[in-house]
Structure 1
Amino acid sequence: MGVAAAAALAPYVRSMSVYDITGPPGVHLGLPSTQVSVVLPVDDPLDVAWSGDPGSRQRSWQSVSGLHTRPAHIRHGGRMAGVCLGLTPAGARALLGVPAGALAGTLVELDDVDRSFRTLPERLATTPSSGWGAAVGRALLQALERREARAPRAEVGRALALLTRGAAVSAVASDVGLTRRHLGELVRVETGVTPQRWRQLARFQRSQPMVAAGRRLADVAAACGYADQAHLAREWRELAGCSPTAWRRQELPIVQDMAASRQQDGEA
């Protein structure tokens, strides 16, 4: 994606990964985060389901998942290729036309949310992998131009920023001039989760690259705001369905390959 496009999309697209990964067949974990995930696979559709819910399994060429508190299981036959986006709450509104809260806990098709994206999978299928990022960037810029980018309410945006940094919910409510109840209502509408859950997801998300890098778990816990290593481990089992060590052992090659893809293609 070009510099100008990346700058225009920066408030809305937290990350973009162009990936083409090969390895043994298996199940990749899509971990919870504070982002709306959009996956556009190439060559083979995405085979995805929520952990513990086989009835949610679907094969899709353009998958969107809102904020969630359990991992997604992505089955693959040894190769995964395509583009993965992480949208901010503002990005859900500006690019998809809906608040992130409307997508919470769901697995849906992108063109069910916005029909203007319906031809994007076909365009990617006829584009060399070196051009996938640019093709998606153009589609996102066109979506941004089609509608007026309406940001979340200012106090909600500030509250989410403070919660992401680990501030206590009561302190955040006081800072933005809302009662805890009113803050909770506004955050749930905007994101689909409570302020406390957003804070938890942000903390968990911060820990993921540190765990992948092999840092001592006690150091990760301290850096991310966990009470101790045991607290970190409990939260990982709740949100990832496995321990940090087990996740790193299983997912490290995929994490490294996707990180290399981000460095090569650039993040929005």
Structure 2
Amino acid sequence: MVVDEYVQARPSAGLSAYVAGYSGYRQAGVAPMRHLGLPSPWLTMILTLDDPLVLLAHPDPRQRPGRYDSLIGGLHLSPAVITHDGWQSGVQVAVWPLGCRELLGMPAGELAGVDVDAADILGARAVAEIRERMVHAPDWAGRFAILDEALRRRITSKTVRPEISYAWNHALRGMPIRDIAAEVGWSGTHLTDRFRAETGLRPKEAARVARFDRARRALRPGVSIAAVAAAHGFADQSHLVREFRALARCTPSEWLAEQFDFVQALTLPPAQDG
């Protein structure tokens, strides 16, 4: 029997400052596929429910391919390559970078461009318990509630400096770094350095990834690529195509043809601006 499920949900109110959303997926008996984990303004946490997640390539080419029961990936500027043999199931969590200190106990910058075993951050026992409970939950709502409860228990008081929060929210809206620096009273260099240490990207890189992500989410079969480019701040269709080649290693048309049905094509995030 073929199973092909994708279900999404928002976190509880107490987690909305840390988590943009949950995506549950279950595929069984489908054709083997290769998927791209594209750059986005959120960190990715994945907890599998059965077979491991298989990464053929990480955003950082120095990382070796691997198999993960759980994974947390930092912000990045190139795609991860994920494969499965027709069977996969798990929950993917979109984590706000500015919430990492409170939720994961470290700045998102420490995970920049890399994928790590979630057990190394959340603890092996905690991850095993969450996965076990989700496996036995009766439905996706129950799985999301289990994960939501576990993540809420992790919240600490390790907050981000307000200057960085201001810079993140305004950089993603396209505000020039010199104007942001003037607003927060820092030099452009100091702001860029602190921003990168906290999030893993420079302000211009974060703005670039956010614009790319908005355009990617707007792409649909039958929708003009030129119209998407114009609506999301690209100079023209060629500009958007160049960004896709740089950040996704494919063109928009190729992504639509090969990747659109994967879980990362869903449109749940964003819920707020960090």
Query: Does TM, normalized by the shorter one, top 0.5?
Result: yes
User: Does residue 123 of structure 2 align to residue 117 of structure 1?
Assistant: no
Q: Deviations over 1:106-132 (max 9, x none)?
A: 111112012163322222233234321
Structure 2: which 5+ runs fail to align? 1-8
Of 163, 184, 188, 1:180 maps to: 188
Partner in structure 2 of residue 12 of structure 1: 18
Q: Matched residues in 2 for 1:69 and 1:13: separation?
A: 21
User: Does residue 42 of structure 2 align to residue 32 of structure 1?
Assistant: no
1:32 is displaced (CA, Å) by 0.6
Task: Tell me, yes or no, if the aligned pair for 1:64 and 1:109 is still in contact at 8 Å.
Answer: yes
Q: How many residues were matched structurally?
A: 258
Partner in structure 1 of residue 86 of structure 2: 78
The CA RMSD measured in Å over matched residues stands at 2.4
The alpha-carbon distance between structure 1 residues 188 and 256, as it changes in their structure 2 partners (threshold 3 A), is closer
Q: Matched residues in 1 for 2:70 and 2:51: separation?
A: 11
User: Does residue 104 of structure 2 align to residue 126 of structure 1?
Assistant: no
Task: Tell me, yes or no, if the aligned pair for 1:89 and 1:152 is still in contact at 8 Å.
Answer: no
1:53 is displaced (CA, Å) by 3.3
Q: Matched residues in 2 for 1:257 and 1:66: separation?
A: 19
Partner in structure 2 of residue 21 of structure 1: 27
User: Does residue 239 of structure 2 align to residue 231 of structure 1?
Assistant: yes
The alpha-carbon distance between structure 1 residues 213 and 12, as it changes in their structure 2 partners (threshold 3 A), is farther
Q: Deviations over 1:59-117 (max 9, x none)?
A: 11110000111101111111332110111122211111010000111111112012163
Q: Matched residues in 2 for 1:133 and 1:35: separation?
A: 18
1:52 is displaced (CA, Å) by 8.1
1:229 is displaced (CA, Å) by 1.4
Of 137, 149, 160, 1:138 maps to: 149
Q: Deviations over 1:191-244 (max 9, x none)?
A: 111111111111111111111364322221122212221111111101101001
What secondary structure is seen at the aligned counterpart in 1 of 2:101?
helix
Structure 1: which amino acid aligns with 2:134? Answer: L
User: Does residue 54 of structure 2 align to residue 47 of structure 1?
Assistant: yes
Which structure carries more relative contact order (alpha carbon 8 Å, separation 6+)? 1
What secondary structure is seen at the aligned counterpart in 1 of 2:81?
strand
Structure 2: which amino acid aligns with 1:128? Answer: P
The alpha-carbon distance between structure 1 residues 58 and 160, as it changes in their structure 2 partners (threshold 3 A), is same
Q: Matched residues in 2 for 1:247 and 1:37: separation?
A: 20
Task: Tell me, yes or no, if the aligned pair for 2:54 and 2:67 is still in contact at 8 Å.
Answer: yes
User: Does residue 119 of structure 2 align to residue 108 of structure 1?
Assistant: no
TM-score by length of 1: 0.88
Partner in structure 2 of residue 98 of structure 1: 106
Partner in structure 1 of residue 5 of structure 2: none
The alpha-carbon distance between structure 1 residues 171 and 249, as it changes in their structure 2 partners (threshold 3 A), is same
Q: Matched residues in 2 for 1:135 and 1:165: separation?
A: 34
Q: Deviations over 1:128-171 (max 9, x none)?
A: 34321111111111112xx22x3211111011111111222222
Map 1:133-212 → 2, pairs under 5 A = 133-144=144-155, 147-148=156-157, 150-212=158-220
Task: Tell me, yes or no, if the aligned pair for 1:97 and 1:114 is still in contact at 8 Å.
Answer: no
What secondary structure is seen at the aligned counterpart in 2 of 1:20?
strand
Q: Matched residues in 1 for 2:163 and 2:50: separation?
A: 43
Task: Tell me, yes or no, if the aligned pair for 2:60 and 2:113 is still in contact at 8 Å.
Answer: no
- Once structures 1 and 2 are overlaid, which stretch shifts more, 105-114 or 234-243? 105-114
Structure 2: which amino acid aligns with 1:215? Answer: V
Structure 2: which amino acid aligns with 1:156? Answer: I
What secondary structure is seen at the aligned counterpart in 2 of 1:212?
coil
The alpha-carbon distance between structure 1 residues 175 and 256, as it changes in their structure 2 partners (threshold 3 A), is closer
Q: Matched residues in 1 for 2:263 and 2:119: separation?
A: 28
Q: Matched residues in 2 for 1:214 and 1:82: separation?
A: 30
Larger helix proportion of the pair: 1
Structure 1: which amino acid aligns with 2:150? Answer: A
